Amino acid sequence: MKKLISLFFIASLAFSRYADAHCPLCTVTAGVAAAGGVYLGVSRIVIGLLIGAFAMSMGMWFAKIVKKRYIPFQKTLIITIVFLATIIPLLPIFSSVAGFGVNLTGGYGTLLNKTYVIDLSLLSSFLGGLIVFIPPLLNRKIKEKTTIRIPFQGIILTFLILIAASLIIQFI
């Protein structure tokens, strides 16, 4: 069955004139992966972390496509739009909310005594997005300090950092 799927994939690439894949297709794929992870019992917070990393790297990739600068902070704007356009539609799939109470003075319901709700998956998505910025910096420092080169070193660093963060979140 795997050979048949691989053959179909290669044939579809060979006979297509151009690829028309863009953000919605990637979003659906990430959503399916998130739903599969939820089904397998992976923490929704970890899924948020991984989808956040995916969304940020996709945003960075899309920002590099536009070569001409039309507005100030264009790359930052493209990255933000792609990130949010990927994360927001998927929130119902991997959302994990938690409440925490703040009781500083007086009775309940006053300004300083309330229960606040926070979406931990959304926070972990932002963390995943931030993690994507670490490996290129780390990779550059490693290249400066040593002459040893590992093939796909940047990708390996990204996966190792994401796996380490995922394991920490999953088991805490």
- Domain assignment present for 14: no
- Domain assignment present for 111: yes
Contact in structure between 170 and 42 (CB atoms under 8 Å): yes
Tally of domains within the chain: 1
Q: What is the pLDDT of residues 58-72, one digit of tens each?
A: 888 888 888 888 888
33 burial class (0-12, 13-18, 19+ CB within 10 angstroms)? middle
- Domain assignment present for 130: yes
- Domain assignment present for 35: yes
**What is the domain extent for residue 113?**
20-171
| Secondary-structure percent of the chain, ordered helix, strand, coil, rounded to 5 | 70, 10, 25
- Domain assignment present for 50: yes
C-alpha 20: how far from chain center: 22
- Domain assignment present for 120: yes
- Domain assignment present for 93: yes
From first to last of its 172 residues, the chain has per-residue pLDDT tens of: 445 444 444 444 444 443 333 345 555 555 566 666 677 788 889 889 888 988 888 888 888 888 888 888 899 999 999 999 989 888 887 888 888 777 776 666 666 777 788 889 999 999 999 988 888 888 889 888 888 878 878 878 888 888 889 889 988 8
How far lies 72's CA from each of 60, 61, 69, 79, 107, in Å? 16, 18, 8, 13, 49
Residue 18, φ and ψ in degrees, nearest 5: -155, 160
Contact in structure between 149 and 71 (CB atoms under 8 Å): no
- pTM over 0.85, yes/no: no
Output the pLDDT for position 90. Answer: 84
- Domain assignment present for 5: no
DSSP secondary structure, 126-159, as one string: HHHHHHTTHHHHHHHHHHHH-----TTHHHHHHH
167 burial class (0-12, 13-18, 19+ CB within 10 angstroms)? exposed
Output the pLDDT for position 96. Answer: 86
